[in-house]
Amino acid sequence: MPTIFVGIFQHISGADEVTGWLGRDIGLKSHRQPHVGAAKSPMVKKVAFASLFTLAIALLCAAVNAQQFPIMDRIADKVIQKYQTSTCEQLWQERAQKGKAPKPQMEQEALQMLKSDPQMRSAFIAKVAAPIANKMFECGMIP
């Protein structure tokens, strides 16, 4: 039996000897150490702990970032929803009417808030840029 098959058989079965079809010894013995359980290995424990620690830090950062600008998050969600639910025709009409009508007071306050806080503005743009650009591309508003 070729050596590679012996290794595969031993790995699958955990056997130290490989026996023939009738159960008799065919003389191939393993030179490997017995398999040590993965849970008992100190290196595996260290890697598992590091992975869990990294995951916990990532989740904590995500939670803090999500709670950093709750008002901005609601505004961004409304903007995204507006673009996702609007038809291309509606967006083209709004673009044609831009500048003709005064902006609502609430919209002016939101824009002022974004202008005055660079971190909030950056978070807002990061959240809305992809959905808006995608819709504008679908509607032929950008190349």
Residue 20 sits in which domain range? Answer: 3-35
Flag whether the pTM goes above 0.75: no
Give the pLDDT confidence score for residue 18 in this predicted structure: 47
pLDDT mean over 50-65? 64
3-22 pLDDT tens trace:
554 455 455 555 444 454 44
> Do 9 and 30 share a domain, yes or no?
yes
pLDDT mean over 22-41? 54
Q: Which residues contact 103 (CB under 8 A, 6 or more apart)?
A: 111
> Do 51 and 29 share a domain, yes or no?
no
Confidence of residue 47 (pLDDT cuts 50, 70, 90): confident
pLDDT mean over 76-103? 91
> Do 45 and 96 share a domain, yes or no?
no
